[in-house]
Amino acid sequence: MVRLKARISLLLFCSLSALAKEGAIPIRFEGALQESAPDSAPDFRRIRVFDPYERVEIEFEGYPLQAVLDHKLGASWRKLGPTHELKMKCQDGYQVSVPLSRILEHEALVAIRRVDKPGFDLLKKDVTPEKRVELSPAYLVWENIRDRTIRAEGDFGWPFQWVEASLQKIGEGDPLPIPRNGSNRSALRGYTHFKIHCMKCHSLGGIGGKVGPELHYPKNVTGYWQKARLVEWILNPASFRIPNGMPPLAPEHPERKKIARDVVEYLGRIPEKNGGRP
């Protein structure tokens, strides 16, 4: 029902919103759920966060994410909380999907301006050497000063140069290879962790982000890297090779070593047939 409506209203909504007040929120949304999305842009707000890339507290200005989704998709996105995720794509090939339940439970802002200084950029201190990156048109930030859960997850769900968004059913749309039959629990957990921590930059058989190298085709990375070395690399890539554009895995996560081992276990148990050309 919702799906059918979504399809019917998609074209209509796109053309209406293009005529109306596109431009206030600089992201292309696909898949409006109803025609009667509120037409006034959501209120502008400020929020102070601990920035996971620059690693200091920064104040940003922009639109609350929940209100942006109400505005762009219609309020019924809220009912899809348990089953759907928001897929976001960036100019540089980075992509990330965040469950709607996380968006409903935590506070996020579609930032379009930094309050503390002119220019909408930041210093990425998680790569070696540090690198200044442009954030526009939009940067998604999360309240993580009071919210410890979000703080522990580091940069999960902080896309910058964010340009495109759509809703998708969890588990559909991004058919990341599932671990081989008979895989252990560690590999199964690794599958989930890979989606959160790695897929935004790396693809497996062509599925995933394009910032870092493909890790499964034509050879799976566990075929030419020792597993123990891979775990070390994930925890501290710059200890192997510099310059290095890969950030260490979630530096503040208390279980980061376990996550790294699970991810490597998963990488070693991807079925051969998923080795599609990227």
Residues of this chain that interact with ligand HEC (CB under 6 A) are 197-198, 200-202, 211-213, 215, 221, 230, 233-234, 241, 244-247, 249, 263
Within its chain, how far is the Cα of 53 from the centroid? 14
CB of 265 to ligand HEC, least distance (A): 11
Q: Which is nearer to ligand HEC, 64 or 245 (CB)?
A: 245
**Torsion sign over Cα 247, 251, 254, 257:** positive
Judged by beta carbon, residue 25 or residue 259, the one nearer ligand HEC is 259
- Could you tell me the smallest distance in angstroms from the CB atom of residue 153 to ligand HEC? 12
Helix extents (H) in 84-217: 100-105, 148-152, 185-197
Specify the residue for token string 């503040």.
252
Q: Which is nearer to ligand HEC, 6 or 263 (CB)?
A: 263
Q: How far is the CB of 87 from ligand HEC (least distance, A)?
A: 16
Closest separation in Å from C-beta 118 to ligand HEC: 26
CA distance 110 to 198: 22
Q: Taking the complex as a whole, how short is the minimal distance between the CB of residue 151 and ligand HEC, in angstroms?
A: 17
- Cβ proximity to ligand HEC: between 25 and 250 the closer is 250
Beta-carbon contacts of 89 under 8 Å, excluding residues fewer than 6 positions away, are 95, 159, 162, 163, 164, 165
- CB closer to ligand HEC out of 13 and 233: 233
Question: How far apart, in Å, do the first and last CA atoms of the chain sit?
Answer: 35
Alpha-carbon span 141 to 163, nearest angstrom: 15
